[in-house]
Amino acid sequence: MKVRKAVIPAAGLGTRMLPATKTVPKEMLPMVDKPVIQYIIEEAVAAGIEDILIVTNRAKSAMDDYFDYYPELETRLNQAGKERELIEVRRAADLANIFYVRQKETKGLGHAIWRAKRFVGDEPFAVLLGDDIMRAKKPVTAQLVEAAEKYNACAVGVQKVSTEAISKYSSVKVSPLEERIFSVSDMNEKPRPEQIFSNYAILGRYVLTPAIFGILENVRPGYGGEIQLTDGLRELCLRDKMVAVDFEGRRYDTGNLNGFLEATIDFALDHPATGPWLRRFIREKAAQL
Ligand code: UTP
């Protein structure tokens, strides 16, 4: 199993970040000096992915523009001797082979993934949610790809969350294979207390086989009236081998205000242009609280 392709579903309406996301896609909001989506593309590239499909919608063409060349701007930067900015602007456009497909109706994450069927063909592929940024020494997608290749199986990225929090995620039924890797035999989307399989929640990263498409075609709308990816994954893990990887690293859900601010502060603290200043600023603020 060799994973060369990735799909980034980014066609959600972003209602938790309104009004900011009314006309600016949440994936394009700045995380210090780069849009959120760029961190996700960089993670995929760092995992050896060559071709990336972004699932978008009619309000999200800013993403296609961002990963394109911009000759007028580049000429101006060149003339002004702004070499660093020029390199960064070009680098974004040259990160990977990026393709786009529209999800014409917002029918849920499972439906968005199904739109990738033609792009994926008959290869295994990675899925990275467009608003989940991971910070890890080894890219989380690389951790999943490694496990998927080792076990010749699908893989889902999981971490332990509290019993109160698991009802917001998908809970997986697991049995251990080795340190941090489990085999998956069942799962539940947004479980009620009596439906919780374990406190391991699926968090934004997957390696799947094209078998998911045939399954998604027959999945009925589930929680919230949407085609849920978890309902398709449940069927997939009952049929085929699936592993869960308790990945090393921190996940930020930038699709809600608190997660977005946590990520902004952590990334800004680490950034050489903002870190020293922000440290001083936070100390001053904390003294006033
Ligand atoms: P979310 O639930 O986090 O995104 O979906 P959302 O629907 O934009 O969020 P809110 O609740 O309205 O704020 C998880 C992922 O699935 C994508 C989203 O873009 C996000 O990456 N998604 C969701 C789609 O691509 N299409 C959909 O129909 C729904």
The predicted pLDDT at position 282 comes to 96
The predicted pLDDT at position 163 comes to 94
Whether residue 110 has its Cβ less than 6 Å from ligand 1: no
Whether residue 144 has its Cβ less than 6 Å from ligand 1: no
Report the C-alpha gap between 226 and 287 in whole angstroms. 47
Ligand 1 centroid distance, CA of 273 (Å): 32
What tens digit of pLDDT does each residue of 252-281 get? 999 999 999 999 999 999 999 999 999 999
pLDDT(221) > 90:
no
The residue nearest atom 16 of ligand 1, judged by CA position, is 109
Report the C-alpha gap between 183 and 175 in whole angstroms. 5
The preferred substitution site among 54, 109, 231 for testing ligand 1, maximizing ligand atoms within 8 Å of CB, is 109
Tokens matching residue 266: 């952590």
Tell me the Ramachandran region of residue 144: left when phi exceeds 0, alpha when psi lies from -120 to 50, beta otherwise: alpha
What are the backbone dihedrals phi and psi of residue 249, each rounded to the nearest 5 degrees, phi first?
140, 175
* Closest to 136 in 3D by CA, of 40, 20, 239: 40
Is-cis flag, bond preceding 193, omega within 30? no
Whether residue 135 has its Cβ less than 6 Å from ligand 1: no
Alpha carbon 172 to its chain's center: 19
The predicted pLDDT at position 286 comes to 93
What tens digit of pLDDT does each residue of 118-141 get? 999 999 999 999 999 999 999 999
Which amino acid would we find at residue 96?
A: A
The predicted pLDDT at position 275 comes to 97
The predicted pLDDT at position 92 comes to 94
What tens digit of pLDDT does each residue of 153-165 get? 999 999 999 999 9
The predicted pLDDT at position 224 comes to 79
Whether residue 109 has its Cβ less than 6 Å from ligand 1: yes
Ligand 1 centroid distance, CA of 243 (Å): 24
The predicted pLDDT at position 2 comes to 87
Report the C-alpha gap between 227 and 221 in whole angstroms. 4
CB under 8 Å to 262, separation ≥6 — which residues? 252
Domains plus CATH for the chain? 5-288 (3.90.550.10)
What tens digit of pLDDT does each residue of 196-207 get? 999 999 999 999
Handedness of CA 260, 265, 268, 274 (dihedral sign): positive
